Structure 1
């Protein structure tokens, strides 16, 4: 069959384009039961001795569990830095730098004040991690089946972008309520100190809308962030094994592979922080102020204001992303799931390009 509409959209993607064109591609191979053989040029390939089948329900559930651990624990661990970052964004006249922010917070609230918002952070980002990583794997398989084996390999960066954007759409809906509570606790002194105190107060003042008014800015922040997080990570892993690692991945130990995962995750995290920071500033101010809209906040901050706290965010997100991928990959090691590996060109494509004898 000829390339689908999704393939045509993928070809317009500025992140990746192959050096050659294929005018016509074959239908994906059929299994014995008349179903498509699941193919995927993803960073997950089958290895000898794996006990969990790739693409099975158990596989997706365990990936979601890995997302809970990776996102919930890491975001909670950096709550002090996140708190300072939010305060730099919403009150730059008072909190002028990272160091100044830490000193003022400790002076006013004590050391315990640095942990404000840890409970909604843990709950919210655990739910986000479940959807982000779990649905990413689901959509990656789904879009791969639509594209077919050859187009999946050719347009793998576009596949990563589409799958991660789709997953994050649902992940942000799960995150929004707790993100609103977290920001309100961290940026509005005296409003509330705990999750149990803040939720009923916000509901009494603004109703359910208080917890979801930030979902659109969250999409603005998190969807580009997640698209960069997954696509940059997947391609960086591919490039590291190709150019930086002195031996094939199959010859690397699990520990060496996890080091590659951490490095690729940190590189991806730096880019994530930059592309998502303006929207993150809007989310922080929006959830602090009652009755504001994203457009009003954006006008108030201005072109320079949306970049306040960028250094703190780069440090936080770079570390977060690296640790998240490390934890997520470690979960895959523990449960013996398919893990990051450079994708291989399908044999059918090699024949068309004359790369086989």
Structure 2
């Protein structure tokens, strides 16, 4: 119901993109039909060959699908590194470094042990990706509608931050149960080897609280991460096309555009890892320590302990974020979805500021 109402609100928005450089002045096509089912103005006309209109319900749904594919696949691919990272955080005495962590895990559990937690990772982050990317696009349109086209351009960084934070709030609610199961499987020896074993055990021991006790620290970790992920990516992409790429975006091939997407995603990922790491450490330790609060865990770890496993997480999150943006953008290319260029100053604002 919530997702549907957000889609309807975005669909009815007169701003189909916050940074539209082109607008459609007529309210109907040559056959007399409306440009969109629910309103008279379309901020950016769909380019010929696009599979859907920018800002339509179909567009938002396909963005959600892209989020499922990008987040579900990438997080599952790095499960071995994630497992070692979590163990470094919760037991630094036994797992002294990344390489030592891999060595100890291989010695005790074999190669198969490196895949522990893959199922909750895949399902959890697929659900998170659906909400993260799908709702980001929705909230970006809703908030743009609220502040207007000119302010959407002038304060676009704040728009990215607000839209991504709102999307991640709901994405973490979807992720929390699977994240709790993943960490339990990876960091509690002998507790469970599969998702099917872990879920009933966790429910029997702590009830529903077992799946949501890490929600607040998850918000503390994921919301700053996602705000950085989207805002840093959007602005880095804008700067790369302005100062680094030797030709305008419209003159780049789809392949060249995807390379720029990957580069912007990796830069964003490094910053994401740093700002969200202390909360990530708390989440890992919290789901291992029965009955402890986030504050108790943070106090026990101390300032230095909160930064355990930072280097492997930078490598993991940098690669992960770059791959997610690459896959997400590639899905848009494959499905022939609208891919608006970097934001341009609206004509009305140019006139006010006297910009040619």
- In structure 1, the partner of 2:87 is 87
Aligned to 2:68: 68
Q: Aligned equivalents of 2:227 and 2:339: distance in 1?
A: 19
Is contact 1:45-1:338 (8 Å) kept?
Answer: no
User: Could you say if the C-alpha distance between residues 83 and 42 of structure 1 is closer, same or farther in structure 2, counting changes exceeding 3 Å?
Assistant: farther
1:71-108, CA deviations, whole angstroms, 9 ceiling, x for partnerless residues?
00000000000000000000001101000000000000
Given that residues 20 and 344 in structure 2 are in contact (C-alpha distance below 8 angstroms), is that contact kept between their aligned partners in structure 1?
Answer: no
Contact 2:140 2:163 in 1 (8 A): yes
Q: Secondary structure at the match of 2:203?
A: helix
- Give runs of aligned pairs for residues 185-196 of structure 1, distance below 5 A: 185-196=185-196
Q: Say if 2:273 and 2:318, in contact at 8 Å, map to a contact too.
A: yes
Q: Is the 8 A contact 2:17 2:54 kept in 1?
A: no
The separation in 2 between residues aligned to 1:204 and 1:110, in whole angstroms, is 29
Tell me how far 1:51 sits from its aligned partner. 2.6
What runs of 5+ residues in structure 1 fail to find an aligned partner?
1-33
The answer for unaligned runs of 5 or more in structure 2 is 1-11, 22-43
CA separation in 2, counterparts of 1:229 and 1:42?
22
Pair 142,37 (structure 1): closer, same or farther in 2 beyond 3 Å: closer
What CA distance in whole angstroms lies between the structure 1 residues aligned with 2:13 and 2:317?
41
Separation (CA, whole Å) in 2 of partners of 1:237 and 1:122: 28
- 1:277/1:307 contact within 8 Å kept: yes
Equivalent positions of 1:338-349 (< 5 A) are 338-339=338-339, 341-349=341-349
Q: CA deviation at 1:221?
A: 0.1
- Cα 1:323–1:42 change in 2 (3 A) is farther
Equivalent residue, structure 2, for 1:123: 123
| Contact 2:15/2:144 (<8 A) preserved | no
The residue that corresponds to 2:294 in the other structure is: 294
Other-structure match for 1:308: 308
Aligned partners of 1:100, 1:172: CA distance in 2, in Å? 31
Q: Secondary structure at the match of 1:288?
A: coil
Counterpart in the other structure of 2:273: 273
Does the 8 A contact of 1:45 with 1:340 survive in 2?
no
- 1:45, 1:97 → 2: CA distance? 53
Q: Who is 1:172 aligned against?
A: 172
Aligned residue for 1:327, secondary structure, equals helix
8 Å CA contact retained: 1:88, 1:309:
yes
What's 1:250 paired with?
250
Structure 1 residue 245 displacement after superposition:
0.3
Contact 2:121 2:179 in 1 (8 A): yes
Q: Give the alignment partner of residue 19 of structure 2, picking from 41, 47, 64.
A: 41
Name the CA shift for 1:45/1:315 in 2 (closer, same or farther; >3 Å): farther
Which residue matches 1:25?
A: none
Equivalents in 2 of 1:340, 1:216: separation in Å? 35
CA drift of 1:59 comes to: 0.3
Q: How far 1:334 sits from its partner (Å)?
A: 1.1
Cα shift readout 1:14-61 (whole Å, capped 9, x = no counterpart): xxxxxxxxxxxxxxxxxxxx9735341289995443231011000000
Contact 2:13/2:142, CA 8 A, preserved across alignment: no
* Cα distance in structure 2, aligned partners of 1:152 and 1:48: 26
Change (3 A) 1:88 1:237: same
Pair 1:335 & 2:313 matched = no
Which digits, 9 at most, give the CA deviation of each residue in 1:154-194, with x for residues without a partner?
00000000000000000000000000000000001111101
Shift in Å at residue 338 of structure 1?
2.1
Residue aligned with 1:82, SS:
helix
Change (3 A) 1:39 1:129: closer
Query: How far apart, CA to CA, are the structure 2 residues paired with 1:355 and 1:296?
Result: 55
What count of residue pairs does the alignment treat as equivalent?
323
TM-score by length of 2: 0.89
- SS of structure 1 residue aligned to 2:287: helix
**1:226–1:272: 8 Å Cα contact kept in structure 2?**
yes
Determine if contact 2:46/2:52 at 8 Å carries over to the other structure: no
